[in-house]
Every structure is written in structure tokens, then in C-alpha cells.
Amino acid sequence: MNTQLQTSESQGNTQPAPNREDTQRREQPFVVPPVDVFENESGITLLADLPGVSRDRLGVRVDGENLVIEATAQTPQPQDMQLIYGEAQYPSYRRQFTLSRELDASRIEASLKDGVLKLSIPKLEEAKPRRVEVRVG
């Protein structure tokens, strides 16, 4: 089976021109969170690392056939802290996926625990694999 969730960033020129609001948002630097994606008979599960993100700072939306994950991390650092060494630089996360038609975007379940987002994207009932009985006769 083909990859049903593909990152839209890789599609380059085939993407429609982003509107103005999109362009403005994209000028802000952001981190592309690493994900695990796997599929079984009932649907697709997506896990994304979003450290520092609480529930109220996470946005998961379905826009047409695109699934967009946007989040902002809240770093617990004191105001008077001076950064000595920093690997983590931007507190914004963003990643986008293209959903295929047999996935049921209206029944996506999302949970967030310890900075890990888990999305369960079920398949439409008619798209689930069925066993076809073969009658001998």
C-alpha cells in the first residue's frame, strides 16, 4: 500500500500558492516535529514530539484534505535567565500532512501526554478491509 500520509512540504511546486495569512505565519521560524506514523486495519496512528506544549497551546485542524499540527511551547525558564548554551531555539512547531480519501477526518481523536501528541485517524467504514467469502458451488 502506498504511503497515505505524506508531508506536504516535500511536494514543492505542486502546492497552491499560500494566501497572505499563511505567508505571514510561515515567515516565523518553526520546528518540524519528528513523527511516527503507522497503520493497521482500523486506521492510522500518528505520534509527534511536541515538548513544552500544553493542551491549550496545541492546534490540530483539518483543512480540506490537509491535516495541520501547530503548537507553541512554553519554556519554564525564569525571566532573568541568560542562555549559555542552546540547542532548542524556536518554540513553535508546525507540520502538515495530506490525508487520503479513505480516512475519516471527522472522527480524529487527539490526546496529548508529556509532550507527545497522539492522533488516531480512523478509516471510513467502507474502506476497511473485508473478508470476501468464497462459496463453492
Partner 1 sequence: MNASFRPAADMFSELNRLQDVLDQVFRPAERSSIRGLSGASFPVINVGATPDAIEVMALAPGLDPGALQLTVDRGLLIIAGERKSEVPEPGDATSVYAQERFSGNFRRVVSLPDDADPGKVDANYRDGILRVTVAKRESSKPRRIEVS
In this structure, which long-range contacts are made by residues 10-18, counting pairs with CB atoms below 8 Å and at least 24 apart in sequence? 11/98
Q: Is 9 in the site for partner 1 (CB under 8 A)?
A: yes
Q: How far is the CB of 43 from partner 1 (least distance, A)?
A: 11
Determine the Cα–Cα distance for residues 132 and 111; give it in Å rounded to an integer: 35
Q: What minimum distance in Å lies between the beta carbon of 64 and partner 1?
A: 20
Residue 76 interacting with partner 1 (CB under 8 A): yes
The mark string for 45-64 relative to partner 1 (x by CB under 8 A, - otherwise) is: --xxxxxxxx----------
Q: What is the dihedral of CA 117, 102, 124, 120, to 10 degrees?
A: -10
Give the integer Cα–Cα distance in Å for 98 and 131: 28
Point out which residues pair with 35 in neighbouring strands: 48
Stretch that binds partner 1, among 2-10, 62-70, 99-107, 120-128 (CB under 8 A): 2-10
Range 89-108, binding partner 1 (CB under 8 A): 89-90
**Dihedral (CA of 15, 19, 20, 21) sign:** negative
Q: Which residue ranges make up the site for partner 1 (CB under 8 A)?
A: 1, 3-5, 7, 9-10, 12, 26-27, 29-32, 34-41, 47-54, 73-78, 80-90, 113-116
